[in-house]
A and B are shown apart, each in its own frame.
Chain A
Amino acid sequence: MSGQGAIFIRGAAGALIVAGLAVPVAFGMWHSLGASFGYFPAIGATRLSFEAWQGLVALPGLWRAAATGLFAGLLSTAISVMLAFAVLAVFHGRLRHGTFSRILTPLLAAPHAAIAIGMVFVIAPSGWIARMLAPLVGWAYPPDIPTVGDPWALALVLALVVKELPFVVLILLGSMTQIPVRQHMATGRSLGYGRAACWLWLVFPQLWPLIRLPVLVVLAFAISVVDMAMIIGPSNPPTLAVMVARLFADPNVDAILPASAGGVLQLVLVGVGFAALLGAQILVRQLGRLVLRCGLRLRWLDKVLSLPAALAVGVVLLAGLGLMSLLIWSVSFVWRWPDLWPASLSMRAWRGAAESWQGAAGTSLLVAVCSTAIALLVAIVWLESGDRTGRGGTSIWLQFAIYLPLLMPQISFLIGLGGMTLQSGLFSPLALVVWGHWLFVFPYVMIALADPWGALDPRLERTAAALGAGPWRRFVRVKLPALLTPICTAAAVGFSVSIAQYLPTLFLGGGRIVTLTTEAVALSSGSDRRVAAVHATLQAVLPLLVFVLMFAIPATLHRNRRALRGGFSK
Chain B
Amino acid sequence: MKPFLIMAALALGTSPALAEDWQATLDAARGQTVYFNTWGGDERTNAFIADLGKRTEAAYGVSIRQVKLADTADAVARVLAEKTAGRDTEGAVDLIWINGPNFMTMKDKGLLHGPFVADLPNSAALDMTEGSANTVDFTIPVEGMEAPWRLAKFVFTYDSDRITPPPAGMAGWVDWAKDHPGRITHPDPANFMGATFLKQALIELAPEDTDLSIAPTDASFATATAPLWEWYDALRPYLWRDGKSFPENESAQHQMLNDGEVDMSMSFDPASAAAAIGDGLLPETVRVFVPAAGSIGNVSFVAIPYNAAHMAGAKVVANTLLAPETQARMQDIDVLGSFSVLDPSLLDDAGRAAFASLPTAEALPTLDDLGPVLPEPHPDWMPRLTLEWQHRYTR
Contacts and interface: CB of A to CB of B under 8 A. Distances in A.
Nearest to A58: B391
Nearest to B83: A253
Interface in A410-461: 422-425, 429
B199 to A, nearest CB: 18
Given A425-B85, A526-B42, A510 B248 contact: no
A144 B280 contact: no
Contact of A126 (B42, B254, B261): B261
Interface stretch (B14-22, B70-78, B322-330, B352-360): B70-78
B393 A236 contact: yes
Interface in B80-106: 80-82, 84-85, 87, 92, 101-102, 105
A236 B185 CA distance: 14
A529 B73 contact: no
Interface string B252-285: 1011101111000000000000001001110100
Nearest to B162: A141
Interface string B162-187: 10000000000000000000110000
B129 interface: no
A97 interface: no
Contacts of A125: 261
Contacts of B102: 251
Contacts of A519: 68
B384 interface: no
B175 to A, nearest CB: 19
B259 A142 contact: yes
B154 interface: no
B245 A60 contact: no
A359 to B, nearest CB: 9
Contacts of A43: 81, 84
Contacts of A141: 162, 183, 260-261
Interface in B15-51: 35, 37, 40-43, 46-47, 50
A525 interface: yes
B84 A44 contact: yes
Contacts of B73: 249-251
A337 B80 contact: no
User: Which of B35, B42, B245 has the most A CB atoms < 10 Å from its CB?
Assistant: B245
A42 B85 contact: yes
A514 interface: yes
Contacts of A251: 72-74, 76-77, 80, 101-102, 105
Contact of A531 (B43, B85, B182): B43
B74 A235 contact: no
Nearest to B71: A249
B78 A236 contact: no
Contact of B245 (A64, A151, A511): A151
Given A126-B261, A352-B47, A344 B280 contact: yes
Contact of B246 (A235, A250, A352, A355): A235
A60 B394 contact: yes
A528 interface: yes
Nearest to B182: A144
B260 A337 contact: yes
Please report whether the interface of chain A is mostly helix, strand, loop or mixed according to DSSP.
loop
B245 A526 contact: no
A522 B77 contact: no
Interface string B217-261: 000000000000000000000001100111011111011101111
Contacts of B37: 511
B125 to A, nearest CB: 30
A356 interface: yes
Interface in A310-335: 333-334
Contacts of B346: none
A253 B77 contact: yes
A527 B241 contact: no
A146 interface: yes
A512 B92 contact: yes
Contacts of B67: 511-512, 514
Interface in A246-292: 246, 249-253
Interface in A136-195: 141-142, 144, 146, 149-151
A42 B280 CA distance: 48
Nearest to B72: A251
B253 to A, nearest CB: 8
B2 interface: no
Given A61-B395, A236-B394, A527 B260 contact: no
A529 B50 contact: no
Interface in A226-242: 234-237
B43 A126 contact: no
Given A60-B391, A526-B42, A510 B249 contact: no
Nearest to B91: A425
Interface string A35-74: 0000000111000000000000000110010000000000
B376 interface: no
B36 to A, nearest CB: 12
Nearest to A127: B259
B394 A237 contact: yes
Given A253-B77, A352-B47, A151 B391 contact: no
A42 B394 contact: no
Contact of A528 (B84, B249, B281): B281
A346 B281 CA distance: 13
Given A126-B259, A142-B261, A525 B249 contact: yes
A328 B102 CA distance: 39
B228 to A, nearest CB: 18
Given A61-B394, A527-B254, A124 B77 contact: no
A346 B279 CA distance: 11
A336 interface: yes
B210 interface: no
B241 A144 contact: yes
A122 to B, nearest CB: 13
Contact of B240 (A144, A237, A425): A144
Nearest to B183: A141
A451 B351 CA distance: 71
Nearest to A354: B50
A121 B310 CA distance: 42
A114 B80 CA distance: 33
A526 B253 CA distance: 9
Given A249-B73, A337-B260, A236 B46 contact: no
B46 A234 contact: no
A253 B76 CA distance: 9
Contacts of A352: 43, 47
Interface string B196-207: 000000000000
B137 interface: no
A328 B229 CA distance: 43
A338 B244 CA distance: 25
A61 B390 contact: yes
Contact of B244 (A151, A346, A510, A525): A151
Nearest to B282: A527
Interface string B133-153: 000000000000000000000
A337 to B, nearest CB: 4
A235 B50 CA distance: 32
Given A126-B260, A527-B41, A355 B85 contact: no
A355 B279 CA distance: 18
Interface string B311-351: 00000000000000000000000000000000000000000
Contacts of A250: 73, 77
Contacts of A64: 395
Nearest to A424: B85
A-B pairs, top 4 by smallest CB distance, nearest first, are A251-B73, A126-B259, A144-B182, A527-B251
Given A523-B41, A526-B255, 12 more contacts: A42-B85, A60-B390, A124-B259, A142-B259, A142-B260, A235-B188, A236-B245, A236-B246, A344-B280, A422-B85, A425-B82, A525-B41
Interface of B: 35, 37, 40-43, 46-47, 50, 67-78, 80-82, 84-85, 87, 92, 101-102, 105, 162, 182-183, 188, 190, 240-241, 244-246, 248-252, 254-256, 258-261, 276, 279-281, 283, 387, 390-391, 393-395
